Structure 1
Amino acid sequence: MAVAGEAIPVGTAGTKVQDTFSLSQAIGFAWTQVAYIFGINAGHAIYCGVSFLDSPRWVWLLIGGSWLCLLGMLILYGRNAWQRGHITPRLLGEHLLFIGFIGLCIGSSSITIRLETRWVYVSYTAALLYLSFLLGELAKGHVAQETTEPRVLNMETVQGLRTRAAVQRRREMEDAERKKACLRRILPFSVLFLLYGLVMTPVEHFDREHYDNIFFFFDQDRVNSLAACTIDAVGAENFLGKKQVYIFYNYYEMTDFYAEYFYKPFDPEKTGQGTEIHFINRVEDLPADASEENSMVLMEQGNRGYLDVTAQAFGKAAWDELSEA
């Protein structure tokens, strides 16, 4: 187990797979990821944005339509492969390669403590490549048929075609017929593939409209709001080295590391010029030399943003104005 534990990568959120791994949980995550690949957001909204059950009915209908497209493509490919008798060990190996790769992608992202939708896109992309492979096999089969089956013209046929021009016309007709046959086989699959993309586009767009519900976007919105309320509001030249930031309560649990280093990336010299973030619980906690000119005071707003209360903290505006705003 120790050897296996060292070989297995570290899990998400600082966990270790050998400490948190559960076979039943991994199997459940694997099935959930299969559902994701087929368009169903089976996980919690904090990991995928919006769950399938909370999606409107039109999303359900479009996902059902995508299944019909996928089923149609598989039927078309299977029928064509069976009719051509083109099922060889090499072809089976190529199919197993794709399916195995998709399975390994699913397995590798199902062994930790949670499953996030962003991990599914590797498996989903591999599945789309597999569909492209099926289409390529259909087209390749026709090319092979054209190049490996030489035209055999017996003497009677040659005598019947008295001129070279007639022979050329016959060959052109044969080529045209082969191209038509190729198109008849490939076109339905291509149409279904295109239709699948058209059906899933609004579904993917709907999912992305709810990505702000995913847990890591909370922190992203918070830091964006912090920058907007401070350095973006007054400009770097009027902020770095000239102001300190004070935040009430710190319910967001920002670490001291972020408080010290948050503004350093905004500084060309990466020092922050002494501007840092400090946490307070009341106005009296502000330093004696703090003023509206050298300080910015913020309060956490909702669960993903900040509100500038500098004027209120220094008695230049009433706190009641915040509730009115």
Structure 2
Amino acid sequence: MEAKDRPRAGIGCSRMENRYEWKDRVIFLGILTAFALWVNRGITIKGLYMDDLYFWSCYGEQSFFQYVFPVGSTRFRFLYYLAAWLEMAVVGNHVGWFVPVNILLNAGLSWTIYFIGRRLSGSKGVGLLCGILFLSSRMAYYQIGQVLGLMETMGLWMGLWIFWNLYRYLNEVKKERRSLFIYWACILYTGVCFVHERYMALFPAVLLVLLAKKSRKVFEWAAAAVSFLLVQVIRAVTIGSVLPAGTGGTQVADTFRVKEALGYALSQIAYVFGMNMGPEHLNGLPWAESPAFIKLLVLLADGFILVLVVGFLWKLVKEKDKAHRAAVIWNSLLFILFIALCIASSSVTIRVEMRWIYVSYALALLFLAYMYGELTRGVKEELYLKRLWPWGAAFACYVVLMLPVELFYRGYYPRLYLWPSQMRYNSLAEETYEKYGDELFGKTIYIIGNSYEMSDFTARTFFKVFDKERKAEGTSVVWIDSIRDIGLVDDSMLVLREAPDYNGFQDVTDFVRELKLQVEYGYYDDGWMDEHAALTVMAGKEGFIDLEIRFPGVMEGGEGVELTVDGGSVRKIPVRSSVVETSIEAEPWQMVRLEFSYNFYMQDAQEQRGDERLAAIVQMKVR
């Protein structure tokens, strides 16, 4: 592990890098990007649903200003809405691009963690390990697997930069530069509150650093006050309230309970230390149900955290430089307060979702990097073993133990509350648009069963996403109980069935078509029929089969059709006009065998599909 970037005198500044330093950075960023792509392989978004679909529909139906500045709504996240509008404008109807975009953004987050971790620890290796462990975290499920994950990514990114500017303010030696960091932190604070309102809770961290430095600069205090008040004024004007809304359509003021909040806070702390202390639908696999070897790995990893913390505290106690000791204490308080505020802001609503803990987890990794930097502070660069042992080894062991744990828990993503539905709508997209392309538009899609309880909004909107015009005109969804509820399958129809065992859909159009209309010979999908043909048709619930025979050729007189029903009586149908209609009566749902024999054929036909000539176009309907 390198020591080139170890902060001196508590300011986190690195030594002048040599001319080849950029190559190391490119390599490490490449490693992080490759790891981000690998660890998130298999996660796809092919169809939108629920919040993702709703936000897409708003993008398609509202003006830019209505979408980005939703005055009167329960939330006013205009910075996120602006980013979402831009993302949807770029992605367009290429739904599959959302996940690659999310992965690259998460990789960018890992780059930030790498750079900050490197500066805090004075080690490229530690910075890289922080980035890798961040990317492998099971808490990334929402940021990667949902379109709205962009909101969490933006909030986390801005939160990290708020922390870094506050840290730089605490440790900057040059007073003339110090104010710049607090100003940036205040600007970012104002911005992040309009990405997600829970980040309003970070304001005490700004006050902490001002108090720690005993700031007497009016403009620094004014910047903090203005940033906080500006957020409240804008919220009051645009949504009529300064209190944040809760999750799931609730209001924090209505649902907040101190006892529950404390329980949620403790569960988040457990999550940070690798323990899933929540229900299955929120984490995939609770701690109590986790296998013994996973629990052992987590406990061993936490043991190495304990080694680093004890070593850090012991060195702090033994520190003779009072100024440095004070700096370390204030830095540690900043870490602890920032993490605590993030946890508190995610504990005041009706549940705890792993995605909300991601920022706390990222800061916890950086806190460990800071501890490593302090534990190895003053060690000369050439003393590689002393930097590696014992603190570098302890940090590396923590990462090595937690990597398989995170990958193991990622395997339980299908149990998360949102995953089954995403799989279903991915499957719906695969069985429809992915299979038929633009030919899908205008068709009626029959779905056998409705155990998934697809909403009318989803049925109306789902296929619009794939249309460049965002309309999907004529496309509709109809739910049926069985194939008996529809007639013969034609080119304007698709028939799907739910497959609950696989959280998906199955295209059974061809199967139902062949079941209801079994062609022996002489009849084709577009309705053309040879001089002789035989087929079996399933009658409808009333037992009728309606035939429409069209002859587009020149009639010479005496044309007729002999129709044999179930091998019995022969019905002779004279053809005196270009269109002839007739009906056959049978029992409801009866399979009826029909044989056709024409005494005419289509003159000057451009093709001959079978051994005989084309005679007429026959359309059939059942009722």
Interval containing the TM-score (normalised by the shorter chain): 0.7 to 0.9
* 1: CA distance, partners of 2:292 / 2:516: 49
Which residues of 2 match residues 266-285 of structure 1 at below 5 A? 266-283=466-483, 285=485
Q: Could you say which residue in structure 1 is the equivalent of 2:330?
A: 93
More helix per residue: 1 or 2? 1
Deviation track 1:70-122 (CA, whole Å, cap 9, x = no partner) reads 01101221222222324533322211110011111111111111111222221
Query: Pick from 118, 132, 136: which aligns with 2:373?
Result: 136
Q: Could you say which residue in structure 1 is the equivalent of 2:445?
A: 245
The residue type paired with residue 308 of structure 1 is D
* 1: CA distance, partners of 2:463 / 2:305: 50
* 1: CA distance, partners of 2:481 / 2:246: 36
* Kept in 2: contact 1:292–1:310 (CA 8 A): no
Name which one, 1 or 2, has greater alpha-carbon Rg: 2
Deviates more, 1:264-273 or 1:82-91: 82-91
* 2: CA distance, partners of 1:189 / 1:292: 71
* 1: CA distance, partners of 2:405 / 2:434: 35
* Kept in 1: contact 2:297–2:402 (CA 8 A): yes
State the SS of the aligned residue for 2:378.
helix
Deviates more, 1:74-83 or 1:259-268: 74-83
Which residues of 2 match residues 215-254 of structure 1 at below 5 A? 215-233=417-435, 235-241=436-442, 243-254=443-454
Deviation track 1:187-235 (CA, whole Å, cap 9, x = no partner) reads 42121111100000000000001111101011100101111122222x2
C-alpha change, 1:293 and 1:182, in structure 2 (3 Å) is closer
Q: Could you say which residue in structure 1 is the equivalent of 2:406?
A: 204
* Kept in 2: contact 1:62–1:199 (CA 8 A): yes
Q: Could you say which residue in structure 1 is the equivalent of 2:504?
A: 305
* 1: CA distance, partners of 2:490 / 2:429: 18
Identity %: 37
Which residues of 2 match residues 9-48 of structure 1 at below 5 A? 9-48=244-283
Deviation of 1:138 after TM superposition, in Å, equals 3.6
State the SS of the aligned residue for 1:60.
helix
State the SS of the aligned residue for 1:292.
coil
Q: Could you say which residue in structure 2 is the equivalent of 1:262?
A: 462
The residue type paired with residue 283 of structure 2 is C
* Kept in 2: contact 1:245–1:298 (CA 8 A): yes
Deviation track 1:25-80 (CA, whole Å, cap 9, x = no partner) reads 11111111111111111111110011112221110110111111001101221222
* Kept in 1: contact 2:280–2:415 (CA 8 A): yes
Query: Pick from 260, 277, 293: which aligns with 2:491?
Result: 293
The residue type paired with residue 362 of structure 2 is T
The residue type paired with residue 247 of structure 1 is I
Q: Could you say which residue in structure 2 is the equivalent of 1:194?
A: 396
The residue type paired with residue 29 of structure 1 is Y
* 2: CA distance, partners of 1:131 / 1:220: 35
* 2: CA distance, partners of 1:188 / 1:229: 56
TM-score (norm 2): 0.42
* 1: CA distance, partners of 2:320 / 2:294: 39
Which residues of 2 match residues 161-180 of structure 1 at below 5 A? none
Which residues of 2 match residues 98-113 of structure 1 at below 5 A? 98-113=335-350
* Kept in 1: contact 2:428–2:505 (CA 8 A): yes
Deviation of 1:279 after TM superposition, in Å, equals 2.4
* Kept in 2: contact 1:248–1:279 (CA 8 A): yes
State the SS of the aligned residue for 2:506.
strand
Deviation track 1:141-190 (CA, whole Å, cap 9, x = no partner) reads 428xxxxxxxxxxxxxxxxxxxxxxxxxxxxxxxxxx5577963664212
Deviation of 1:283 after TM superposition, in Å, equals 4.0
The residue type paired with residue 265 of structure 1 is V
* Kept in 1: contact 2:489–2:512 (CA 8 A): no
The residue type paired with residue 309 of structure 1 is V
* Kept in 1: contact 2:311–2:375 (CA 8 A): no
Q: Which structure has more RCO (C-alpha within 8 Å, separation ≥ 6)?
A: 1
State the SS of the aligned residue for 1:232.
helix
Listed as ranges, the gaps of 5+ residues in structure 1 are 144-177, 319-325
* 2: CA distance, partners of 1:292 / 1:316: 13
* 2: CA distance, partners of 1:85 / 1:182: 25
C-alpha change, 1:180 and 1:311, in structure 2 (3 Å) is closer
The residue type paired with residue 136 of structure 1 is G
* 1: CA distance, partners of 2:303 / 2:361: 17
Deviation of 1:315 after TM superposition, in Å, equals 6.0
C-alpha change, 1:293 and 1:40, in structure 2 (3 Å) is same
* Kept in 2: contact 1:30–1:106 (CA 8 A): yes
* 1: CA distance, partners of 2:422 / 2:321: 52
Listed as ranges, the gaps of 5+ residues in structure 2 are 1-235, 518-623
Deviation track 1:275-296 (CA, whole Å, cap 9, x = no partner) reads 232223344554x6x7332111
Deviation track 1:213-261 (CA, whole Å, cap 9, x = no partner) reads 101011100101111122222x2133223x2212233221211111111
C-alpha change, 1:186 and 1:138, in structure 2 (3 Å) is farther
More strand per residue: 1 or 2? 2
* Kept in 1: contact 2:297–2:401 (CA 8 A): yes
The residue type paired with residue 240 of structure 1 is F
* Kept in 2: contact 1:222–1:306 (CA 8 A): yes
* Kept in 2: contact 1:46–1:214 (CA 8 A): yes
Count of aligned pairs:
276
* 1: CA distance, partners of 2:292 / 2:241: 46
Q: Could you say which residue in structure 2 is the equivalent of 1:6?
A: 241
